[in-house]
Amino acid sequence: MANSNDNNNEVVAEMDGFYRIYKDGRVERYIYKKSNLSTYVPPSLDDPQNNVSSKDVIISPHVSARLYLPKNTTNSTQKLPIIVYYHGGALALGSAFFKSYHNYLNVLVSESNAIAISVEYRLAPEHDVTTIYEDSWTALQWVASHANEKKFTSDNEDQWIKNYGDFNRLSIIGDSAGGNIVYHMTMRAGKEGGINEKVTINGSILVCPYFVIPIENIEESASYKNWIIISSPSEAGLHSPLINPLAENAPNLSQLGCSRMLLCFTEKDEFISKEIGIRFVKGVKKSGWKGDLELIEVEGEGHCFQLANPESEKSQELIKRFAAFIQL
């Protein structure tokens, strides 16, 4: 006769190679065991290779972040572009504190000479996907709150952002699931007239964004199967505007709240087909959105390749494109 422990150990859902969900609600993310890039690393006040400092901050009871500052900053009159970065991981995996993201942000910050806030948000399936968007918006509003002219009145304010941030050059960036988040943050900012009364999004960069749009064989893809597992019953499927920005009930893309957008897709992406990227770009253009839109396709590379080795030639080329976008 099966005991309660046997029942608790019953697997009710699984994404092969990534995670499994047990009957008692536990989630085992075994992809973390396969790569040292998926290990947690501490911040560093002195990264000698890229000359970047980093530290961790608590934004709210559920949201934290790792901040990055170029070490060549000499005084508080020098204002730097601001990057708000959302990590990937299919909305169910990943961390801003992983080695892969720490290494990548060090390189990106050094190349773009910008201050960066890499957001740690709660994950599905323990939390509803909409909770992820709320965490992400909380972080974005926290960053924007530093644009207020008042002096420090709260322990929750950060001197790096307050002293060095140029709020006329705020960009939000995300890869994979992070790209999905960037889309939703940009859309919400458009609907609400900005992040707050003082700050708008200058540019959005979506790298291999986690969208599931109806194309041939999409229901056989890992991206679709993952969405079915982590989404609520009412949002499961291709009709949900959370995962399909072209869905019939999705907000009109003309409302996107940024003046510039850069989309990056890769030729050999095993999770997000470049056809989805092309469909999204066509949808944005058809909507009448008034901003500047640029599409990059990286030949011969797979999903979010730049994270595995940000020092490679193609990664460096891509980061330079991002840096030029950020610095405008």
**Residues with catalytic roles:** 176, 269, 303
Chain centre to alpha carbon of residue 132: 11
Give dist(CA 212, CA 182) in Å, integer: 15
* Residue labelled with tokens 């988040």: 181
Q: DSSP letter for 86, please.
A: E
Report the phi/psi class of residue 64: left, alpha or beta, with left for phi > 0 and alpha for psi in -120 to 50.
Answer: beta
Torsion of CA 259, 146, 86, 119, to 10 degrees: 180
**Helix or strand holding residue 129 (H, E):** helix 129-145
SS3 state at 135 = helix
Query: What per-residue string of b and e applies to 284-313 under the rule 16 or more CB within 10 Å gives b?
Result: beeeebebeeeebebeebebbbbbeebeee
Q: Strand pairing partners for 98? A: 40
Parallel/antiparallel/unpaired status of strands 63-70 and 52-60: antiparallel
